[in-house]
Structure 1
Amino acid sequence: MGGEGFKEMKMERRRRRREGMENEGKGEQKVDLSGMSLDSFPSTSLNLVSITNLDLSNNNLQSIPESLTARLLNLVVLNVHSNQLNSMPNSIGCLSKLKILDVSNNLLESLPITIENCRALEELNVNFNKLTRLPDTMGFELINLKTLRVNSNKLSFLPFSTSHMTNLRVLDARLNCLRSLPDGLENLINLEVLNISQNFQFLQSIPYSIGLLMSLTELDISYNKITVLPDSISCLIKLKKFSAEGNQLVCPPMEVVAKGIDAVRDYMSARMKKAFKSSGRTSKSWLGRLVKCGAFDGKMVYQNEGLLAPEYQREYHSFDGTPSRLIGKFSPLRLFSPKRFSSPQR
């Protein structure tokens, strides 16, 4: 297509977009202004309160006016990916109905703390920015969040409040500078996909609590500096996809990892069983007492392997609903760490 033809096509596209905006004022609820080389939001008589879906992606926006977001009171989807944004307006907190926010591929170094007021938020995508941290208390309020994508930033840690996002299904934190995962990881009882790959030399271990992510189906820890996996990996009975290449694993050996997740589970389960036996555990051990206290109500790790006495072979459930004063007692470090097999003092 010649240059003139391309220009005419682009002008026609813009004309249709303008007509679309006029229709919005008559009751339509979606506005698509993507890919129009916009430097700012265009002046319009559009009724902003009526908009539920606003697409401003693939433009040249450097900022979003505070007054704009403050009036988008019924907005459900906001897409501003692939712009030049270096900040988000504090008035983002006014969007109480917002469910999907995509601010990926911008220049953001931080998110406003007011984002925690978007309590209906279910999907947050901040991939490919320059974030060095997330708001500390974000997870205490965004309890409806199901997907959190923060890959390709400069994060050295995830805030502790992340562990309160109990509805989270997908957590993608690859290509950062993560040095550890947050305490309380075991509270993410619905997490299905965890990607912490390509944190390279920064991430050297993963916590024992990962074994309590009983809904996990995909785990990617590839290209880090991890040498030892926790025995609790054997507890992830729903895990189907496991990637660990690019590490220097010695436990389990890489030849075991190469055989697939079933081989890894078998190897780590054997280690755990051996550790239990060598500890001289009896049915009256601390583990048995935790069962009686209600830390479990179903199948603990591979009960057919003999890891629990028959009277304690009941199905495991999450800590959700456990009185906060007891959480410390039921720490995964106590459950799985080979250093803590002795009975607690009364």
Structure 2
Amino acid sequence: MMYEQHVRMELRKSTERRRPIKEEKFEVVDLSGMSLESLPNPSLNLAMISKLDISNNNLESIPESLTARLLNVVVLDVHSNQLKSLPNSIGCLSKLKILNISGNLVESLPKTIENCRSLEELNANFNKLTKLPDTIGFELLNLQKLRVNSNKLAFLPHSTSHMTSLRILDARLNCLRSLPEGMENLINLEVLNVSQNFQYLDSLPYSIGLLLSLVELDASYNQITTLPPSIGCLKKLQKLRVEGNPLVSPPMEIVEQSLEAVKEYLSQKMTGESPRSPMKKKSWLGKLVKCGTFNGPILSGTREEREGFIMSDYRSIDGLTSPRYMGMFSPRRLFSPRNYFAR
């Protein structure tokens, strides 16, 4: 009885607050922090509720019949309870946009959650999830924020890569062993956090480098030894965290310099160039090649002219060591604007 009186009181307060706005028909019900252990079926019209907050209670379950009647609910907040599961009738909430079930004991999500196709934000942090529904990504195409950190997930379903509206994916503090392929489909993903999967996650897929909207990537405290060279293509990337990994490529001295140093290193690997160490001085012999002195850009002429020195005629190495040609090896002469040797 007290429960129904409280709900009526909340509805009355909400109606008084919202009365000047004629367009709004639905109400907000806040039953958070009341130490509730159960939710008896009220005699109210639950279809009039747009937001229901029953967080910070001691609820172990939510009645199927109650959820099925929340036909117009847009926000459902049940965080910080003792829930071990969600009712299957949650699939009836076709208008639901925000669902917060964090801080419970939920081990799996009902497959019917895929029917909540208006869902934009799902917060399932701090539960006991071991898996997500296999086809969840094929149905929740409007989902923008998926937060599943601090669970026991070993994998994200392959269908996750079909969530093309996803902007934030937070899967830290799990037991992830790999990430799904095809992540390049997440064209709007801006933040990806897969940190602190500790001894489980030892690699990142090449497709991460195709996330063209990615701004922040946190892969710290895993077992990653090599970053995919494709990360060098992430032009919008502003924050990269990879500390706490046994990185070999790029080496930590590169990582500690700057994000740009890492991207340059990986870009060189991707194009087949040998990444240059910033601590090494460039050899003047390398400049000979760059300036076209050795194996230069001349493509026509005889085989000797293409493969040897750029000279009007070919001379053997023995001939070049004679006193007559010793001056030709002077760096001042070699780097002069002229690209040929005077005879």
The TM-score range, normalised by the shorter chain, is 0.7 to 0.9
On the 8 A contact 2:149/2:173 being kept in 1, the answer is yes
Task: Name the residue aligned to 1:339.
Answer: none
- Look up the equivalent residue of 1:144 and give its one-letter code: N
Which position in structure 1 is the counterpart of 2:300? none
Pair 1:38-2:36 in alignment: yes
> Does the CA-based 8 Å contact 2:80-2:102 persist in structure 1?
yes
Q: Please give the secondary structure, in 2, of the residue aligned with 1:201.
A: coil
Alpha-carbon distance in 1 for matches of 2:41, 2:198: 46
Quickly say closer, same or farther: Cα 1:18–1:73, change in 2 above 3 A: closer
Cα shift at 1:246: 0.5
User: Residue 50 of structure 1 corresponds to which residue in structure 2?
Assistant: 48
TM score, norm. by length of structure 1: 0.73
Distance 1:208 1:28 in 2: 47
SS at match of 2:9: helix
Name the SS of the counterpart of 1:202 in structure 2: coil
SS at match of 2:79: coil
The alignment status of 1:65 with 2:55, answered yes or no, reads no
Aligned residues: 265
Shift of 1:273: 2.3
Q: Distance in 2 between matches of 1:22 and 1:61?
A: 25
CA distance in 1, matches of 2:270, 2:29: 56
The match for 1:20 is 10
Structure 2: unaligned runs, 5 residues or longer: 17-24, 275-343
Quote the Cα distance in structure 1 between the aligned partners of 2:184 and 2:122: 21
Q: 1:183 deviation in Å? A: 1.6
- Establish whether residue 234 from structure 1 lines up as the match of residue 224 from structure 2: no
Question: Partners of 1:117 and 1:29 in 2: how far apart?
Answer: 23
Match of 2:80? 82
Over the aligned positions, Cα root-mean-square deviation in angstroms equals 2.1
Other structure's SS at 1:78 match: strand
Q: Judge conservation of contact 1:25–1:46 (CA < 8 Å) in 2.
A: no
- Measure the CA separation in 2 of the matches of 1:136 and 1:15: 42
Matches within 5 A, 1:187-336: 187-274=185-272
The answer to whether the Cα contact below 8 Å between 2:37 and 2:57 also exists between their aligned partners in 1 is yes
**Alignment correspondent of 1:131:** 129
How far off is 1:43 after superposition? 4.7
Match of 1:6 in 2: none
| Letter paired with 1:89 | P
AA paired with 1:233?
A: I
1:44 shift after superposition: 3.1
Distance in 2 (alpha carbons) for counterparts of 1:239 and 1:81: 32
* Aligned residue number for residue 143 of structure 1: 141
When normalised by structure 2's length, the TM-score is 0.74
| Paired AA for residue 9 in structure 2 | E
What percentage of residue pairs aligned between the two structures are identical? Answer: 69
* Letter of the 1:225 counterpart: Q
**CA contact 1:25–1:47 (8 Å) conserved in 2:** no
Higher RCO (C-alpha under 8 Å, 6+ residues apart): 1
Aligned partners of 2:11 and 2:27 also within 8 Å: no
Q: Counterpart of 1:151 in 2: which secondary structure?
A: coil
- Once the two structures are superposed, residues 61-98 of structure 1 have per-residue CA deviations (whole angstroms, 9 ceiling, x without a partner) of 00000001100000000000000000000000000000
**Partner AA of 2:56 in structure 1:** N
- Given that residues 38 and 60 in structure 1 are in contact (C-alpha distance below 8 angstroms), is that contact kept between their aligned partners in structure 2? yes
Q: Tell which structure's C-alpha radius of gyration is larger.
A: 2
Determine the C-alpha separation between the residues in 2 that align with 1:150 and 1:232.
26
Once the two structures are superposed, residues 100-132 of structure 1 have per-residue CA deviations (whole angstroms, 9 ceiling, x without a partner) of 000000000000000000000000000000000
Alpha-carbon offset, residue 23 of structure 1: 4.8
Matched letter for residue 19 of structure 1: M
